[in-house]
Amino acid sequence: MAKKNAFYAQSGGVTAVINASACGVIETARKHKDKIGKVYAGRNGIIGALTEDLIDTSKESAADVAALRSTPAGAFGSCRYKLKSLDTNRREYERLIEVFKAHNIGYFFYNGGGDSADTCFKISQLAESLGYPIQAIHVPKTVDNDLPITDCCPGFGSVAKYVAVSTLEASLDVRSMSKTSTKVFVIEVMGRHAGWIAAAGGLLVDHNIPVVILFPEVVFDQKKFIAAVDVKVKKFGYCTIVVSEGCHYEDGRFLAEQGTRDAFGHAQLGGAAPVVANMLKEALGYKFHWAVADYLQRSARHIASKTDVKQAYELGKAAVELALKGKNAVMPTIERLSDEPYKYKIGVAELKDVANVEKFMPKNFISKDGFGITEKCKRYLTPLIQGEDYPKFVDGLPVYVTLKNVGIAKKLKPFKIT
């Protein structure tokens, strides 16, 4: 059988370790040149495939590809662009197949979260129906940790480590000033529907830091929340609040909703921290400071979890190995074998069971009062933030690679994205 080329793309919000998965895909493909030709990357994600803007990764040196493992963000560019359903916009899917045919692409590796898992699954189905089979493998990535089946998602361990470390450090700052100044510090973290990132703040309790966590899974009760913070301030002299951007009222309204929507149709969030901070100021009169972790939490490669980096690379590698075994419409997963000592193995999930399914915090991971985490949750989280995998530093700054990203010649007519 004639060897085919591969296509790789990054999707959605990037992470501190998504490039480690790219490294795993490219390095593994290069070891199987008898079966895989070139690896093309989509410039700016799936848009690169639609517009035939393909990057030839064979132009990158082995050293630069290896350096991806310690470089944050998306080396080839990502995008928030969700392909509509096959019925609504079949032309885009057919365009993808047209591009794949033109460049002899038989492997499709899509590195992203839930929406990209859905896209990957649809492409595998359509390709078969059009008589041009594509082995579509989804490479998991999401800081939200909300993909089903896999024990954890690459990107999450590092953002959890960043949130835990940063919140600990800020809490110590507040503690030192609480006698005469700030008594409440609020940090807002990502997590639209699932509170995995916010849960990382619960690890501070073992450091004797008073923490109140607001999860998307727990309906926000303003009276109960204010009372909980007041108790901690009176006991410790200060309190730290970790609020998920997806925290919402009983009627479903987000505390942070801005009234606008992103490219995926999701409500754009941002602003829960000042909402709850001012709420406490009005009710209790406590001086406060607040911060929004925003891009800092997902791009902090300097404090990435060693476990997370390792798993991100392994899942990129596993994606290629699954393709070489003839698998299609699947996603490599992490299967936890034990908490202490932490052991896991690489598994596999069918995309039909992954697409459009969100994994939320289990009830037994959230404390009975709804403002903290349980010991079971701590046992889950702790291994995922273990170890440091520092990038190389020169003149005080980390050294991150910027690829050449040389494009290939186009063969098709221009395509307009609607």
Helix, coil or strand: residue 284:
helix
CB 228 within 8 A of CB 369: yes
Distance CA 389, CA 23 (A): 15
Between the alpha carbon of residue 350 and those of residues 46, 120, 121, 173, 192, the distances in Å are 21, 11, 9, 47, 25
Render 302-371 in DSSP notation, one character per residue: GG-BHHHHHHHHHHHHHHHHHHHTT--SEEEEEEEEETTTTEEEEEEEEGGGTTT--PPPPGGGB-TTSS
Q: Which helix (H) or strand (E) holds 46?
A: helix 46-50
Residue partners of 106: CB distance under 8 A and separation at least 6: 4, 5, 6, 100, 133, 134, 135
- Catalytic pick from 118, 144, 146, 389? 144
Q: Please say if 294 is a catalytic residue.
A: no
Distance CA 384, CA 191 (A): 17
Render 261-273 in DSSP notation, one character per residue: E-TTSPEEE--HH
Q: Which residues pair with 347 in a beta bridge?
A: 333
Helix, coil or strand: residue 10:
strand
Distance CA 140, CA 353 (A): 13
Distance CA 232, CA 209 (A): 10
Query: Which positions are catalytic?
Result: 144
